[in-house]
Structure formats: C-alpha cells, structure tokens
Structure 1
Amino acid sequence: MTDAHTAPPTASAIAAAVRDGRSTAVAEVTAALARIAAGDATVGAFQLVRTERALAEAAVVDARVAAGEQLPLAGVPVAIKDNIPVAGEPMREGSAATRDEPQAADHPVVERLRSAGAVVVGLTRVPELCVFGTTDSVYGTTRNPWNLARTSGGSSGGSAAAVAAGLVPVAHAADGMGSIRIPAANCGVVGLKPGPGLVPAEMGAHSWFGMSENGPVATTVADAALVLSVMAGRPELATPAPPSRPLRVGLALETPTALARLDAQFGDAANLAARTLREAGHEVVDLALPYPANPLPALARWFAGAGSDAAHEGLRLRDLEPRVRAHIRAGRVLARLGGLRRAPVEALRHRMLAATHDVDILLTPALAQPGPEAEGWHRRGWIANMRANIAYAPYAAPWNLLGWPAAVVPVGWHDGAAVPIGVQLVAHPAADGAGEALVLAVAAELEKRTPWMRVAGTPGTAPVRERAENLPE
C-alpha cells in the first residue's frame, strides 16, 4: 500500500502533466507498475498485470501527445474489471470454468478509455461471474487496503482495492446490484453507477436484464467525473457545475429490508453528511422511501442474470462454484414464478417517483454494516453468502432495478471495524446526464467540506481528515 503522504498523483494531474510535457505516459505507467509490484501481494487486487504491453502502449500515447493530440486521459494508468473484454487478454470473470483465450476486441468502454490516452495496466479480480459482494475465488482473495482482514467488497472489489491502495489513480468498475458502490464504500473511494444509456453496458448476455452499468472508481470526485465523461463520450460531464440553487435533499436512513440492521456509526455518518449539506445551504428533510415489500423483481434478475451469463459463455453448471450453482438454480425457479415480469418494476417506479417528487437528491447510508472478513466466501454455501450480502449491503440494489444514477463517497471512519464509512447519493434519471452531473456536484460539496485521505496508508488510519470546526448539532 501507498503511504498517504506520498499518494500517487490524481488522474487529472497525470493527464495535465503528460499533455504539458512535464511527464510522460511511459514514466507514469512505469511508476504504476512499480506500485503494483510492491503493493499488490498484500491486497490481491489484480488478476493480470500487463507489464510489457502497457509500456509499449504508453510509448504510443507519448507519440500521440508529441503529434499534438489533446488527450483527456493522456498517460493515465487504469485498471479494467475482469468482466469486459480487453483485446489480447483473457476474460476470466473470476471463474476457472471460463476460457483463457485472448479477447478479440476491446469493449466500447475500454476503447474509449484508450482513445482518450489511458493505458490499461491490468485486469482486476472479481468473484465468480461477478455475483457476490465479496471478492474472492480460486484466483485469490482481494482485501480492503485499510484493513486487510476485511473484504474489499464486490463484485468490483479488485478495482476499488487497486484505487484505494494507490496502485492506480482510477479504475473501471461495473454495477449490477451495487457492485461499484459496495466496494467503493468498503474501501473509502468514490464510485459512480450511471443510469442506463449514458455509458455502454454490453456485459454478458444482457447486462443482468438491464440492471448492470459500467462506471468509474476514483479517489476524487474530479477524477470520477473525468473518467465518466470519457466512458460516456460526454466531455461536458468532466466538470459538473455546482448547484445553481439550494437543493432539497431527502435523507432516508431506513434499511430497504428487515434482514438488515443499520449500524449506529453508519447512521451517524449519514447524519453528518446531512448536516454538512445543511451547512452548505441546502434543505435536508427526512424521507421514508417505499422500498418494495416483495424483493422478487430484483432478486430474480440477479439470480437469473447469472444463469444467462453462464449460458452466454457456454459454461457448464457443474464447473461453477457451489454458491453460484445454487444462485443460478434459484434464478430458474424465480423466473418460472414470474419474477422477471415488468409490471412490479413499473409499479415500484411510480411509487418511488411519487415519494421523491419534491426532493432533488436522495442521501442514504452506503452500507448497513462493515464488510465481512475477507476469507473463503467462495468456499461457503449460498445461504451464508446471501445472508452476509443482504445484511451488510442492502442500500444499492433498488437503484439498479429502477435505473437511477447513484454514487458513493467517503464521509467517516468506523472505529470498531477499522474501515471507512461512505454515504450514497441518488438522483432522478435523465437522458441528458443531468442526474449524474447533480450527483457529482453534491459529492464534490461533501468532498470539499469533509475531505478524505485519498489512499490507504497504515491499516487502521482513518481516511477522513479532522475538520477545522465542529459541525453544529
């Protein structure tokens, strides 16, 4: 891990330095590869490191810069979650059952990152088929850089850990039931799930029936916005404007399910964020959200989506982990029971819009409990995995089902578990990216008023800096 006082530059700073000639892509990639070589043995973030190929591609970026190209991510080392194709590399998706043949072409998101001057230094680990909220598999365990005994979360646990440990400044991640926001919350970084259509999805058979989206993980809101703008092909999203007026913020602390209990310190952190936004001039109101009493629509798409992906990849059920086999079988049952019908989703959408019509943005805890220990979840049964996942991370999934943009930012530190605490910001969807821009703008206000240490140093060191003044109660 990287000492917090010698954290690597942000992606924005790297790109500016390479464009201005103060650095080179080769130098920045070399430095990132050195950090990975020194630090990843303890964190376990990377499935594959592209040492020689990344250096060769960095030299090409330097030639493009020398030729006058103004690249928004010039020379920025990035990591790609091992669930979308990277040309020339295998896509293992955390499973020994997948093939090790190189992918023929880049996913559109990878193509856009490379076109913008980013250099892919490696692929990050995921749980098998990206199903669960802890990242471990036959390939190894990914740990939380702040506390190596705890999980980094999942399924983008490798990407979040790589960024939190300072190995790379930014990473690609993907989110079908919270798989960007859950690990971002665990690891104390910024993670954003866009709404549908803004960033190409194109994952597996059908992106878990449209619930899955690609997005960024970063140590700063500015970097998250920059990477999102490239992924979306929308340069204007790189600099989201501050809110033009005071916002009405809906604070929703209630857990979405009776199977989860909100840890007091996580609730305190959400209240701190609410007080911070009040201090910034916004109105904060308590809000009760109409979470679905019947979780079948989200669960059915989660379960059946894994089965569709396995079939899409030509995988045999008997070759998968027991927990994943059980997950897929449950999906078949729920599909037969009508769990994939659209009507319940549309009814929930109408109820949620009615409940939130007079607020601009929602504020919830990011997690209900600290992430569990980082050992052996792929060897445990399906029920144990389900209980752990639902109990600690229930706040993310509703917004995948509805397609609303949502982000997580760090705001605090859990003394008992020695891990960061995050909050979730959720906006109404808008085809023009306005929801994502609003989420980023509010995230930037929280970052300014409750700044955090960008990367993990010594485990147990709180990532949120002391404020100059105490917030009013």
Structure 2
Amino acid sequence: MTSWVGRTAVEIAAAVQAKDVTPRQVVAEHLARIERLDARIGAFRTVRAEAALAEADEVAARAGLAGLPLAGVPVAVKDNLAVRGESHRDGSAATPDEPAAEDHVTVARLRAAGAVVVGLTNVPELCVFGTTEGVHGTARNPWDLTRTAGGSSGGSAAAVAAGLVPLALGNDGMGSLRIPAANCGLVTLKPGHGVVPAGIGNGDWFGMSENGPLATTVADLRLMLSVLADAGFPEPARRTPLRIAVGLRSPLAGVSVSRPYAAAVREAAGALAGAGHRVRRAEPPYPLSLSVTSLRHWTAGTAVDAEGLDPALLARRTRVHAAVGRRFVGSVRTGDQRERLRARLTPFLTEHDVLLTPALARRSPRAAAWHERGWLRNVVANTAYSPFTPPWNLTGWPAMSVPVGTLPSGAPCAVQLVARPGREADLLALAEELESLRPWIRTAPLTDPAYTA
C-alpha cells in the first residue's frame, strides 16, 4: 500500500487530481502520524481530526477537483491566524477561547485551493520570541529534540520537518518564518510588503509582518505562494547570472557568527559561483543604530498587540516587552526610522541583485521554559542567535531561508537570501539552484527509539 506521508504537496495534489488517492486517505494518514509523534514534538496546539476528515470529503466532492492546485493537501496553520470554527489563542492564556466566525484571508485561499487544515500550531505568547513555548506547549526541533524549533512559527516548522504535514502557514515579523525554517531544515520565503495579504495582530507590527509558507522543497514553496499571493510568482523570463553579495558580518553590533553558519554561506557562495553567478564578498552598510531600531520596533509591536489583554494573564517576559515598547509606539508609527534604513540599504541592493548571509548566527537555544525566564535573558538569547533576520522586516523586502550544510550535531544549517522589492522570483530561482546543487534531506529522520514509524 502506498503511503502518502512524506510525499510533497505537488505529488499529493497531482495524485488527488488524478483520483489515484482520496483526500480522506491522505488526511487520515497524516492525522495518524500526528497522533503517533506529536506528543514528543509539540507542533500542534489543537488537531482538528474529525473536522479535517469531513473537509477532506468535501474536497473530494467538488466538481472542479482536477483544477485545485492544493487538492487534498493537509496543511497546518499558525495559531495567530483565524480558522473558521476554531479559537486562535496566539500562544496566550490572555486571549479569548472563542471560535472564529471566518477564516483569515490566507486560510480561505488555501481552502479554496483544496487544502485541508488539520490543526493550529504552537507559538510563543503573542508571537514575540524566537523560541516556541508557553501555556499551550513547547515546540521542539524534530532534528534535535533537546533544542527549540525556533519561533515564532515554531510549531508550523516542527510540523513540516517531522512530516506531520507537507506544508504549513506561518508569518514573519522579525524572522518568525526564517528562524524556525533554518533550525528545522525547511525552505521559506518572507515575501516583500504587499505581496501576500497580512492582517496579523493589531496592524501587522506596523507593516513589518508578512504571511508565508514553510515547505520541504522549493516547488512546494512556489505552489503554496501561488495560492497565497495576490498576483502569483511568475518565473523569470530567462536565466541570467545574478550579482550576489556575500555578507558574513552580523547586522547587530557585538554578535559573532559561529563556524557552521559561516561555512554554510561559503558553501552556498561556491556553488552559485560555479553555476555562473557573479559572487563577491561585500558587507551591507548596516547602521550602528540598527540594534536600537530593531528593539524599538520589536517591543512596540508587542505593546500594540497586548492592548486590551489582562496583564495578569500574560507571561512576565511578555508584560515587560510590552511595557518597554509602549514608550516607542508613537515614534515607530511614523515610519521615519524604517525609511532611513531603506534609503541607506537601497544603493547596496541596487549594485547587487541578491545578498547572501547566514540565516542564523548559531544553533537554536535548548527547548526549555523560556516563558518563565526573565525578559532580558530572553532578549539576549534571541539576539545572539538570530541577528540576520530583523533588517528585512524593517525594510519590508523579501528574504528567504534555504537549507545548506549541517551543524556538528547533524541538524541542518541554513543561509539567507535577500533581494529588493519585487524580486521574489530571483530568490526562488536561486533557491532552486541550491536545492539542485546541494540537495537537502527533506524531513527529519526521527531515529529516536521513542519514535515508531
């Protein structure tokens, strides 16, 4: 009997369209895997087993099944986006436990394309931090269960990396797609501003947050983006050598880059140079004030999202983060700091088509009760391992995480690709080249004796 667990979304959709398998069979197999494995991984806050099977049957009954790009594909949704009939708790005890009346627009697009939502995934409270733990659970990296999956789309990344679903929906306000993707060996794209509908929290963290997919292949990533985006992702008209800048210096002063992540960048640079691209070492002119600018926007976004919530029900790190941010909300709203940063970095990404950097500075922190630890300890831990992602939320420009290389533990390493607005197609094309030149293992092998296949 053919198993559909571990297949790509492209393969599943094609088989369902051809009626070689039913959506119910595909969804049931993935639900069974979730039931076997997720107690150890902690990817899901809630699993919609009965509802998902009913929705799979509804997909099978559609007249236009052959035209559904995600026909029968199980997907997971980050728990800060509305799924009709389910509460979205945003990782908090302070949010209302009430079912949503309507799907978020991105969820609606996935369902219209034939996808089946099997559950909502764990996030840190209010999606603030780069580790995922809290009152609703802890998301662990399936490649190394002692480590966090990352955050804030940690549950979504863990679900895909463990083969619990082939695709998941997340979002990225300071790296929240790229951080867990890099930890878990996935490919993701934070689209440029306005490409995919946002509608995240109370104002998208001043326009810095973007929705996007987590996938195991670039083909799956491209497929899901074609469903989510307002205007799709056209292929480049022709392949031309790109001017690629290689930057290894941390954007945030005082943060060093570990050897595996520097080595991953050099490996990717060598592969792309060998493929004919014009690759050279060049560091972006990050301002010394970037650390302060990032902190102001990061905390101010949380301050706005925490408005109206009972502080007594928030974790201490969240309360402090919001309190720090309240003093910056007014200045951040003007957008002046972000505009100055864009003006400073635009000439660099005009001279170069793409910037290649480490995705992270070092491996993720240990999976632990970080929500019970102090605010400063959380901020230091987050900054020390993820300094490369925030600048591209501040600018609103597209950025990817692509698996390249491995850590000494055998877990995946990753690089980041960045481009100017409207150049998502270039990033996807480069990621496809890296996938071809340096193929990665799509899902964690799950060789821990506690797992059963």
TM-score after normalising by structure 1:
0.91
- CA drift of 1:7 comes to 5.8
Q: Distance in 2 between matches of 1:240 and 1:45?
A: 33
Look up the match of 2:444: 456
Count how many residue pairs are aligned between Structure 1 and Structure 2.
Answer: 445
Is contact 1:243-1:438 (8 Å) kept? no
- CA drift of 1:6 comes to 9.0
Q: Distance in 1 between matches of 2:241 and 2:149?
A: 35
**Which of the residues 154, 159, 168 maps onto 1:157?**
154
Rate the CA distance shift 1:12–1:227 in 2: closer, same or farther, 3 A.
same
Per-residue CA deviations over 1:351-381 (Å, capped at 9, x if unaligned) read 1011222211110000001001001101100
Is contact 1:40-1:46 (8 Å) kept? yes
* Paired residue type of 2:207: G
Rate the CA distance shift 1:296–1:335 in 2: closer, same or farther, 3 A.
farther
**Which of the residues 109, 112, 130 maps onto 1:112?**
109
**Which of the residues 211, 218, 221 maps onto 1:221?**
218
Look up the match of 2:278: 283
Is contact 1:297-1:340 (8 Å) kept? no
Rate the CA distance shift 1:284–1:87 in 2: closer, same or farther, 3 A.
same
Q: Does 2:74 align with 1:77? A: yes
**Which of the residues 394, 403, 416 maps onto 1:424?**
416
- CA drift of 1:459 comes to 5.6
Q: Distance in 2 between matches of 1:68 and 1:54?
A: 17
* Paired residue type of 1:125: N
Look up the match of 2:262: 267
344-353 vs 442-451, which moves further: 344-353
Rate the CA distance shift 1:67–1:182 in 2: closer, same or farther, 3 A.
closer
Is contact 1:80-1:173 (8 Å) kept? yes
- CA drift of 1:188 comes to 0.5
Q: Distance in 1 between matches of 2:111 and 2:9?
A: 14
Look up the match of 2:451: none
Q: Distance in 2 between matches of 1:87 and 1:68?
A: 22
- CA drift of 1:184 comes to 0.1
Rate the CA distance shift 1:97–1:440 in 2: closer, same or farther, 3 A.
same
Q: Distance in 1 between matches of 2:23 and 2:155?
A: 23
Is contact 2:4-2:12 (8 Å) kept? no
* Paired residue type of 2:133: D
Rate the CA distance shift 1:9–1:292 in 2: closer, same or farther, 3 A.
same
Per-residue CA deviations over 1:47-90 (Å, capped at 9, x if unaligned) read 000000000000010011x5555100000000000001001000
Look up the match of 2:431: 443
Look up the match of 1:32: 30
Between the aligned residues of both structures, percent identity stands at 53
Look up the match of 1:209: 206
Unpaired runs of at least 5, structure 1? 461-473
* Paired residue type of 2:328: L
- CA drift of 1:339 comes to 4.6
Within-5 A mapping of 1:16-415: 16-64=14-62, 66-67=63-64, 69-235=66-232, 237=233, 240-241=235-236, 244-294=239-289, 295-311=291-307, 314-335=308-329, 338-415=331-408
Is contact 1:368-1:393 (8 Å) kept? yes
Is contact 1:185-1:421 (8 Å) kept? yes
- CA drift of 1:272 comes to 0.2
- CA drift of 1:438 comes to 1.1
Q: Distance in 2 between matches of 1:6 and 1:423?
A: 29
Is contact 1:242-1:442 (8 Å) kept? no
Rate the CA distance shift 1:150–1:68 in 2: closer, same or farther, 3 A.
closer
Unpaired runs of at least 5, structure 2? 449-453
TM-score after normalising by structure 2:
0.95
* Paired residue type of 2:392: W
- CA drift of 1:418 comes to 3.9
Secondary structure in 2 matching 1:120: strand
